[in-house]
Structure 1
């Protein structure tokens, strides 16, 4: 009778003690139970669980970083310094080959190796969930249609079809689509999420997501540039309409569906790195593409990308139906995603792809600057120095909290009069709407970098070529929801406690 194999037997055969030893032992005992002889078992086990496991470690020095950004003044310099620090942490990871930062780069998060907005990296055979972030496939989508509707009419219809704020559409008002019927739900990263996928169809979320109505008047030179680049359908449509279009542009990601996929992917990546690497920050944990976990995650990402594009298209189609119009041209691009080019996986967190497509055409991209400025239509310059990316927007130099702080009164509340004044000054002549009722000052033009400088740096660093500018007419964003009674009670309680502490401190100072 064979004696059950033990951990010490595996160690004696050359396996190392560590987190993988338990899995190795479980597999060995499974083979024993199947009647595999000990000698054969050890040979098969070596194939599945190599003895000489190479543990991946961070590099001592970061991989190269290309900077397509030029700081002016103390605030911008501090911003770029923080961005560079986080990128260098990510670039020490053994799977990361090089990185780049865009003109709109700004830090986000305090955890080590948290990739900044406007950051891009190239990784070998590895998908890093933290490098595309929770808002998987945050993206732009534009529909060009005849320019014969007043702005107010278009905005009224748009407000009725879109949905902003937390959560999905309420029961009875949910949308459906063929994308929900795809046979993907046995994927471990998508299992059980079909209802989430339906809940969030037709929604845009909050933060910097928007629906924007604009107008573009293409010049003959721009039309010729698009035709030369291979975009004949768009060029012909421009010619037929003398260059003038209304345009709906939406900006949002994969909502709760993508957030759940991200959580599962990050959990799996952290587990893989615990077992196969050492000293890897959570934000930089990866899944090898050629592993079962990595291959499944890649397939899940592709589905999330299809779902997000469909979500954009459904919102656009809903507006067009209300207007009695049809789409003349539709284009779109991701800027929070992972793209496979050969064995290299390009990760962008707020970076617009600017390489050539499979047909050799420079990619078309949309770059919004702020609600009161034009949205740029660009042809990618395929500049490999910067991983062939361009910016995804204007970016920030300060946090949302810091942006609104100067507009608060002594009680710590935003001064409504000053907020209105700022919005009136920065968005004059535009139809600006806040879906949830209250204005979000941090999403006004006040919250973003100088759009003119960002636009200039796109040209300065050779990232893309502008071939159209969609001028603003109106914009809808989530805004701030009206304060609920419980929120008001909690706020007042905190204010009261703060006042009591200040009074107590003052009394101590006087004794």
Structure 2
């Protein structure tokens, strides 16, 4: 009778003590349960868990970084310097072949090697969950429909259709879709998440996500460019509609479903790197693309992509039903995702694909600038110098906290009058609505980079060609939820205590 193989037996046989030893021992138990004799178990284990597996380390020198961005102001210089530093850290990872930052580049939260917004990398046989972030498949989707409705009417219907804010739709008000019935729920990165997929269908979240209504009038030159690029459906409708459309554009990601898939993927990548590599920061951990875990994660990402596109489509269909209209043409693109081209995985965090499709025709894309500016309809230039990406928006120079600081009083509270004044000055004439109640100044036009400069840099670096500009009519964003009474009471109590302390200090100084 074979004695059970213990960890000390593996160490004595030449396996190294460390994180991989636990995985190797679990495999031993599987092999022993199949009835294999001890020598065969060890022989099989040597094939699957080599004793002298080399430890993977970061590179001494980073891979190449291309920069499709120009800076002018001190704030821009500081923002891009931080984004560049994070990218340089990421480019030390042995699986990352090269990287790029776009005109909208700006740092995001996270530690070393966290990809910035407006960053993209080319990766060899690996998927880095941190490089697509928790908002998997954050994306754009546009429906073109007849331009014969008053703005107020359309905005009223849109507000009754969409859903912003934390969480999903309430029980009894949830939406359904065939995408929920796909046989994917045995995937380890999706198991148990069907209810999450159901909860968040028909929702858009918060932050910089939006539902934007606009109007576009195409020129004949733009129609010809779209037709040449294979966008024959839109080109034909431009002719039939004399170039004019209303357009609904939505921007959101995969909500709680994607966030949960990301957490599982990042944990699996962290475990794999702990067992096979050393000194890999959390923002850069990866799963080999050809490993069982890597293949499962890739399939989970593809499902999340289908779910997100369906979520966009469901919101658009419900809105158009209320109007008694239908979509004449629909266009969409991801900008937080992983794409496989040949043998490499392209990762983008706020980067719009701008390469050529398998047919050789350029991909269309949508680039929003801010709620009071046009949304650009572009055709990708397939500029390999910049990994064939273009920006996903205008980006920021200041964090939300830093941007709001000048609008706060001594107690740290926003001045409502100044907020209203700024919004009136920057969004005048537009129907701007905040779904949760109060405006979020950190998502207003002053929070973003100069849209005209970003637009100019798209052309200067030959990232994409603009073939249409959707001019704003109105926009809905989450905004800020009303302050709960207990939070207000706590804040007022703190403010009173501060006031009392200031009065006491003044009396002490006066005495």
TM bracket, shorter-chain basis: over 0.9
- 1-side partners of 2:34 and 2:471: how far apart? 70
- 2-side partners of 1:343 and 1:353: how far apart? 17
Q: Does 1:217 align with 2:214?
A: no
RMSD over aligned CA atoms reads 1.6
Bigger mean CA offset, 377-386 vs 4-13: 4-13
Counterparts in 2 of 1:71-82, with a 5 A limit?
71-82=71-82
Counterparts in 2 of 1:229-244, with a 5 A limit?
229-244=229-244
SS state at 2:362 partner: coil
SS state at 2:339 partner: strand
SS state at 1:294 partner: helix
SS state at 2:176 partner: coil
SS state at 2:248 partner: strand
Aligned to 1:151: 151
Q: Does 1:274 align with 2:277?
A: no
Aligned to 2:66: 66
Q: How much does 1:508 deviate? A: 7.9
Q: Does 1:142 align with 2:142?
A: yes
- 1-side partners of 2:507 and 2:14: how far apart? 71
Bigger mean CA offset, 494-503 vs 72-81: 494-503
Q: Does 1:480 align with 2:473?
A: no
Q: Does 1:469 align with 2:507?
A: no
Q: Does 1:89 align with 2:85?
A: no
Bigger mean CA offset, 279-288 vs 497-506: 497-506
Is the Cα–Cα contact under 8 Å of residues 110 and 283 in structure 2 kept in the other structure?
no
Aligned to 2:291: 291
Q: How much does 1:486 deviate? A: 1.1
- 2-side partners of 1:197 and 1:152: how far apart? 32
SS state at 1:338 partner: strand
Return 5+ residue gaps in structure 1 as ranges: none
Q: How much does 1:503 deviate? A: 5.8
- 1-side partners of 2:422 and 2:79: how far apart? 24
Change (3 A) 1:295 1:430: same
- 1-side partners of 2:433 and 2:30: how far apart? 62
Aligned to 2:345: 345
SS state at 1:366 partner: strand
Aligned to 2:182: 182
Q: How much does 1:28 deviate? A: 2.9
Change (3 A) 1:504 1:272: farther
Q: How much does 1:350 deviate? A: 0.3
- Runs of 4+ displaced beyond 6 Å: 504-511
Aligned to 2:104: 104
Instruction: For residues 159-178 of structure 1, give each alpha carbon's deviation from its aligned partner in whole angstroms, at most 9, with x where no partner exists.
Output: 10011100011111111110
Aligned to 1:494: 494
Aligned to 1:261: 261
Q: How much does 1:107 deviate? A: 0.3
- 2-side partners of 1:374 and 1:446: how far apart? 15
- 1-side partners of 2:471 and 2:35: how far apart? 73
Aligned to 2:326: 326
Change (3 A) 1:52 1:472: same
Aligned to 1:418: 418
SS state at 2:358 partner: coil
What TM-score comes out, normalization by structure 1 length? 0.97
- 1-side partners of 2:151 and 2:107: how far apart? 36
SS state at 2:420 partner: helix
Aligned to 1:163: 163
SS state at 1:397 partner: coil
Is the Cα–Cα contact under 8 Å of residues 2 and 37 in structure 2 kept in the other structure?
no
Q: Does 1:208 align with 2:217?
A: no
Q: How much does 1:34 deviate? A: 3.9
- 1-side partners of 2:217 and 2:29: how far apart? 71
Counterparts in 2 of 1:24-43, with a 5 A limit?
24-43=24-43
Q: Does 1:388 align with 2:388?
A: yes
What TM-score comes out, normalization by structure 2 length? 0.97
Q: How much does 1:30 deviate? A: 4.3
Aligned to 2:456: 456
SS state at 1:25 partner: helix
The number of equivalent residue pairs is 511
- 1-side partners of 2:489 and 2:340: how far apart? 51
Q: How much does 1:11 deviate? A: 3.1
Instruction: For residues 8-55 of structure 1, give each alpha carbon's deviation from its aligned partner in whole angstroms, at most 9, with x where no partner exists.
Output: 433343322222123323433543454322332222111111112121
- 2-side partners of 1:53 and 1:504: how far apart? 68
- 2-side partners of 1:505 and 1:52: how far apart? 68
Q: How much does 1:289 deviate? A: 1.1
Instruction: For residues 308-362 of structure 1, give each alpha carbon's deviation from its aligned partner in whole angstroms, at most 9, with x where no partner exists.
Output: 0000001000111111111110000000000011121100000000001121110
Q: Does 1:7 align with 2:1?
A: no
SS state at 1:140 partner: strand
Bigger mean CA offset, 24-33 vs 385-394: 24-33
Q: How much does 1:407 deviate? A: 1.4
Return 5+ residue gaps in structure 2 as ranges: none
Change (3 A) 1:207 1:33: closer
